[in-house]
Structure 1
């Protein structure tokens, strides 16, 4: 019998990889999308170039909020203790 904790852990690991890919896409998209121009034409937000503000500051805040939401609604509390005595051989 397969332990249900492995299935939950596998699903949550996939969610973690997806979050990393989303974070990289946001960072790369803004950094190279807005930053791939002549520095004399950069727009500035709060004293930062727009590409830096969106990729590093706003992107980080967005990812923190996304991770909090995923942890609250997508992850499951799982006990690390053996629950089934048949599995332990006792």
Structure 2
């Protein structure tokens, strides 16, 4: 039987990959979705082009909150010693 610590580590790794994909999708969608027009017609938020604000600033803030929430809810402490992993 596989050590339970490896199951936890695999699940947490998949969650990490999902978070990276979400981050890339937000960045790509905002950067190329909002920034694909004529630069003379850009709208600005706090002095930044809308595409930059949502892809880099708001997207980063959202990802920090999402990662914090994910770590609090889905991640757990795992002991490194051999004997404690079977509990």
TM range (shorter): over 0.9
CA distance in 1, matches of 2:80, 2:42: 51
Structure with the bigger RCO (C-alpha within 8 Å, sep 6+) is 2
Return the index of the structure with the highest Cα Rg: 1
State the 1:2 CA deviation.
1.2
Structure-to-structure mapping, 1:1-90, within 5 angstroms = 1-83=1-83
Question: How far, CA to CA, are the matches of 1:2 and 1:63 in structure 2?
Answer: 32
Post-superposition Cα deviations, 1:12-64, rounded to whole Å, max 9, x if no partner, equal 00000000000000000000000000001100000000000000000000000
Residue 79 of structure 1 deviates from its aligned partner by 0.3
Residue ranges of structure 1 left out of the alignment (5+ in a row): 85-90
Query: What TM-score, normalized to structure 2?
Result: 0.94
After TM superposition, the runs of 4+ consecutive aligned structure 1 residues lying more than 2 A away are none
Structure 2 gaps, min length 5 = none
**Aligned partners of 1:35 and 1:8: how far apart in 2?**
40
Query: 1:83 offset after TM fit, Å?
Result: 1.4
Aligned length: 84
